[in-house]
Amino acid sequence: MRLDTAPPAWPLPPGTIATLGPMTATDDLSPRLTRLPHGVTTVDVDFLRSGMASSHLIVDDGRAAFVDVGTSRATPLLLDALEAHGLTRDDVDLVVVTHVHLDHAGGAGTLVRELPGARLVVHPRGARHMIDPSKLIAGATAIYGEEEMARTYGEIAPVDAARVVEASEGDTIPLGGRTLRFHDSPGHAKHHFVVVDEAARGVFTGDSFGLAYPELHTPDGPWIFPTTSPVQFDPRALHATIDRIVGFGLPYAYLTHFGRVEGLPSLAADLHRLIDEGVAIARRHADDGEGRHAAIVDALFALYLGDLRARGATIDETAARESIALDVGLNASGMEVWLDRERAST
């Protein structure tokens, strides 16, 4: 599937959403904020559960930007975050989406609608789908059905083309007294960029530098693992992107899933290893026929849970399994799409 014909809407295995329970953002509009140094605040957007997905609010000299915004159900949370910082909706200059998967960008249209002076910044490959999200909506609805789409993602609103800025490799945009710099970051998706913010001493990485859920932290710090979800996973490109992020020489990565991490060279080594081991698993089971997906899922669970144990994680294994179950299914599916694409090209 090509992005420019029918982009994925952060695809989940059929039936997954229904097993995870309802959104809670509409029950409690008080945002959960983690205020960090350097003008950055992590906002839990309460996607499916707490501690799974975040938006980062950057504030500099009274001007503000959001990086990744969750679904439209998170819009009240983000507006509350502004108020908690003593900011108004007129103070927001930028809404940045690292890529157009719906857990990152589904709420961009509803949020921009509430922010009269904000521009939406998006990768050139994703811009058209923010202006006209009909293909995103149709593709996701075909998988989940209208009821699940409404419950999980809410409204997916278009953004006026006049308010959309395409950020290509090396482009810069000022925010207050700082500068945001955008870099192409394929591997997870072709419509993905990362945002370098020297003032924040870090890189806003979207899904390009993996996932590190708070409940899975170990005595040595965050436990990180890659996201290889459908449909554009490319291990070679993802390895290069991870190395590039480390090569910026900044101490922090601001993950959408979830929050700020440090010690990037060590975390990158873990990501590289788990990507390679995951690819090896996928290749071992490439000829398993109808049982391929289940076999890859089982092997990924064994890999990730074993890695957690080796790192001294204290979380109960059942709880750990529940925490990563969605991502394991997605990672297996992404590897299968990559396997099929690799075979078709040979």
The number of domains in the chain is 1
Q: Tell which wins on pLDDT, 16 or 119.
A: 119
Residue 144 is assigned to a structural domain of this protein: yes
Question: Is 7 domain-assigned?
Answer: no
Is 74's pLDDT higher than 90?
yes
Residue 12 covered by a domain: no
The answer as to whether 192 is a domain residue is yes
In a domain, 102, yes or no: yes
Enclosing domain of residue 146: 17-344
Residue 9 domain-assigned?
A: no
Are the beta carbons of 332 and 294 closer than 8 angstroms? no
Say what the pLDDT of residue 346 is. Answer: 74
Model confidence at 1, in pLDDT bands (50, 70, 90)? Answer: very low
Say if residues 204 and 65 touch (Cβ distance below 8 Å): no
Kindly state whether residue 4 falls inside one of the protein's structural domains: no
Query: Is the confidence at residue 10, as pLDDT, over 50?
Result: no
pLDDT in tens, 266-283: 999 999 999 999 999 999
pLDDT score, position 22 = 29
Let me know if residue 3 belongs to a domain. no
As beta bridge partners, residue 261 has 253
Average pLDDT of span 117-121: 98
**Portion of the chain with pLDDT greater than 90, in percent:** 81
pLDDT of 307 over the 70 cut: yes
Q: What's the mean pLDDT in 32-59?
A: 95
The rounded distance, in Å, linking the Cα atoms of 279 and 78 is 37
Distance CA 292, CA 281 (A): 11
Which ranges of the chain would DSSP assign to H, the alpha helix? 75-84, 102-105, 108-114, 127-131, 134-144, 146-153, 235-247, 264-284, 292-310, 317-344
Per the structure block, which two tokens stand in for 287? 């000829």
Q: What is the DSSP string of 144-199?
A: H-HHHHHHHH-------GGGEEE--TT-EEEETTEEEEEEE-TTS-TT-EEEEEGG
Q: At 44, list the tokens.
A: 């839990």
Q: What confidence score (pLDDT) does residue 166 get?
A: 98
Question: pLDDT tens across 123-163, in order?
Answer: 999 999 999 999 888 877 876 788 888 888 889 999 999 99
The CATH number given to whatever domain includes residue 184 is 3.60.15.10
In the predicted model, what is the mean pLDDT of residues 170-176?
98
